[in-house]
Each structure stands twice: as structure tokens, then as C-alpha cells.
Amino acid sequence: MIKTTNGRMASRTASGLRRVLVANRGEIALRAIRVCRCKGIESVAVYSEADAASPHVWAADDSVCIGPPAASESYLAAESLVHVATVKECDAVYPGYGFLAENSEFAVLCEENGLKFIGPSADAIRTMGDKSRARDVAERFGVPFVPGSKAAFTELHNAQTVADELGFPLLLKARSGGGGRGMRIVREPAEFPSAFLEAMREAEAAFGDGAVYIERFFDAVRHIEVQVMGDGEGGAIAFDERDCSVQRRHQKLIEESPSPIVDADMRTRLKQAAMSLARGIAYEGAGTIEFILDVTTGEFFFIEMNTRIQVEHTVTEMRIGRDLIEMQFAIAGGAQLDTSDDEHSATGHAIEYRINVEDWRCGFRPSPGRLNRWQPPQGTGIRLDSAAYKGQMITPYYDSMIAKLIILGKDRDEALARSRSALDCFKVGGVATTIGFHRKIIDHDDFLSDRVHTRWIENEMMPDSAKRIA
């Protein structure tokens, strides 16, 4: 899939990176360090005081404590990270996902200090991270997008005028960030002022930017995304879609590929749209083009691009038999992306379950604590990506996800059968997890009959008391 200009394997070009600072934690940091070891690249890990006993610290060739537990003083401290990278004589920085992975200023800071940012250019991050500019890009390349405002608002009066023109229901979305923060559904004009101010306050607190976009809201949609890989010179490939419709409060719980409701014709159109965007902006590295699919009309609309690797990239890896993290490193090391071969064709059906330390019986309340039992499942078609281990203290400082359970089968029925067995065998003690919730979902008639949508969890799976707590 990736080759050098003389046709040799990408592992040789990946060695063009000599030493890499891994600017993340947990399982994605561990994945990156393993790729470095496989490719003969030295790795430098960073960790907060709370993560001193994390496996990614042990696995790296070198490690540096970057600061206190608070992410703002450690994993989000861009200047400290770049300082460590330069002192340790690194030539590249790998951001993973979350934290600074989509921060254009961090990418610029790396470049200014002679460090290769393993990801897209700062300009690509800025362009696709700005919902208005991303919408303009989609329009330029003929990709359908959700009707909405071209600008973000901080003034209620101006926002109200545009809202009235678009009509209700509407969706308010923060200009910066994601994960459901700064997002509100507004069904009636009378609800708009309070919802807008709430969204602004939440966005300002989460991202330091209170500006909010307005979009048309669709009641029953599927969340479909396409993984792309670009070489930074206009070459790009797109992989089969992932269906991420099983969400809670806009945060994904289960992802699968291919989507049970996408046929061959729609798959082709989705991939073509995704490649048009990636090629059009000369995208470099791994990215994801996200769409919503209106289940009533069958229309799909571009909503945003994530300019990084995503948590759920593993379901794509399982189906194509390739390591996407390795591809990121190879491209950053100077490899040429071979867009002419068909080695990226996918087979089988893959499903990922995010294992979070949350008590789903009590409104998904966080459940930090010590893992006094950790017994993951094993077997054919089962993969676990995690940095958890028995005796580990799960702290409340970071994201609650401690593992990703990925299942592959020849088709969806086999993948679900293996999922039931794997979830039943997955034993965790000392903390509450979402394992039982996943087990409940995959036996639900709606899930089995492809009747889920992005708000299905809240509508069908959560009791009223849990909704109030959440």
C-alpha cells in the first residue's frame, strides 16, 4: 500500500524518522511506541505524575514526566512537549488522538522547532477544523453538506435571525472541539435563546471559544464516516465506511464496518466524496470524513473532518489487514502512498466496543478505582487494544475509556456471535464498566434489525432516571 519511489517497502522510508516524541498516553501511545520499535525508530514517552506507572512509560526507549495530573499542565502543555522533544533530540512528534492532535498551533510550534508533526499540515487542520471553511471546501468539491450558517455566532440577536431563516429543529455546534460539548438540539423558536447561551457557555469553558454554528437538525440519522489516508501531494485513498450511530450524548460507544445499511452504490459515492476532499486539500496522513445519513430519504451530508487518527480506526485495520499507525509513520518518513493498488480492499465484518470505566446503571457515572481483576477475552477474531492491567489505579483525570474490544467475523452474524462470547468472558473487577451495556445492546431487536440512529440510546436504552443523571 505504501512504497518508496523506487518501489521498495515502506519500512525503509519509515526509518527516515530517527527518534519520535509520543505526545499522548494510554493505548494509543502504546500502539505508537510498538510501531517505532518495529520500524527501528527510537521512542520518547511523556507522562503526567498520575501516569507514572502506565505501560507506555515502560515500553518507550526513554520517558519524561511532563507535569501534574491535570491535562492542561501536562499533555496539553504544547511548549513543554516541544521543549522535551528538542532536548531529547527527537526529529518528529506523534500526537495520536485527543489532546493536541487537532491543534494547528501545536503543529506550527513543532515545525518552527524543526520537528516533523506526524499528521496533516497546520493549514489543513485549521481549514477542516473550522466548520465554516470546511463547509466551503465541501461545496467547492461538490460534496453535499448539511444546510446551516456559514459563520459562527457569539451574539444572540444575529444567531436568532439566522435560526428563524433556517427553520426548526436546529442543532447548535461549537466552532471549536467536539465530543458533544457546546452542542444543543433546539426544536422550537422559544427554546433558542436559552439553548444558544448554554451552548456558548459550555463551548467557552471546554475550548476557550464560545462561538457556535447553527445547522438543520435531522431526527433520525446514521453517523457514517470514511477513513482516508493522504500523501500531502494530492494523492489519497479511502477505505470502506464505518457506522458510528450507537452513541450516547454524541459520544460513540460501538462502531462497525461495513455499515449494515450502506449498499455498494452508496459506498462508492461516500468514498468518492471523501477522496475528493482529501485530494482537494492535499491532505497528509490519516483523517476521517464524517457524514450523516438521513434514514428517511437515503441522502448523506458532510458534517466535518477529523484531522487525526480516530479511536475506531481499528475496525478498518481488522478488515484490511494493515496497520494505519504504521502508515502514518511511513508517510511522515517520506514514503509515497500507492494509490494504484487494491491492497486496501476490505473483507469480513468488524465491530468495536469502547470499554469505559462508567456505571451505566447509574447514568454512566464515572467509576475510577483500582482494577483488582482484569481478564480480557481471547480467541479467533478477537483483538484488544488497551494499556490496562490488574492492579492499575484508574484515575479520574482523563477519558474514561480503558480498552477497545474489536471483533472480526466473516459477516455481521459471526461478528455478533463472537462478540457475545467475548463480552461474556471479559471479567473486570474494582470498577464499573460498560461491558454489560454493550452486551445488552447487541441483543436488542433494533440493533439486530438495523433500526438504530444517533439518538437511539437516549430514546430506547436509557431509563428516565438515568437520563436525568446523565
Active-site residue numbers?
308
Q: Give residue 30's identity as a one-letter amino acid code.
A: L
Taking the alpha carbons of 86, 90, 93, 99 in that order, is the dihedral positive or negative? negative
How far CA 279 is from CA of 266, 335, 443, in Å, comes to 20, 17, 40
Beta bridge partners of 174: 212
- Tell me the C-alpha distance between 29 and 35, whole Å: 10
Q: At what angle are helices 122-129 and 104-112 packed, to 10 degrees? A: 170
Q: Give residue 350's identity as a one-letter amino acid code.
A: A
- Tell me the C-alpha distance between 113 and 111, whole Å: 5
361-371 burial code (b ≥16 CB/10 A, e <16): eeebeebbbeb
- Tell me the C-alpha distance between 246 and 413, whole Å: 18
How far CA 13 is from CA of 1, 6, 335, 337, 365, in Å, comes to 13, 11, 6, 12, 46
Q: What percent helix, strand, coil does the chain show, rounded to 5?
A: 35, 25, 35
∠ at Cα 96 (63, 355), nearest 5°? Answer: 100
Question: Which grid cell sits at 201?
Answer: 457557555
Q: Give residue 18's identity as a one-letter amino acid code.
A: R
> What φ, ψ does residue 20 adopt, rounded to 5°?
-120, 130
Question: Exposed, middle or buried: residue 305 (CB in 10 Å: 0-12, 13-18, 19+)?
Answer: buried
CB 99 within 8 A of CB 21: no
∠ at Cα 205 (309, 402), nearest 5°? Answer: 40
Question: Which grid cell sits at 59?
Answer: 515500553
Alpha-carbon Rg for the chain in angstroms: 22
- Tell me the C-alpha distance between 51 and 398, whole Å: 10
By DSSP bridging, strand 373-375 and strand 358-359 are: unpaired
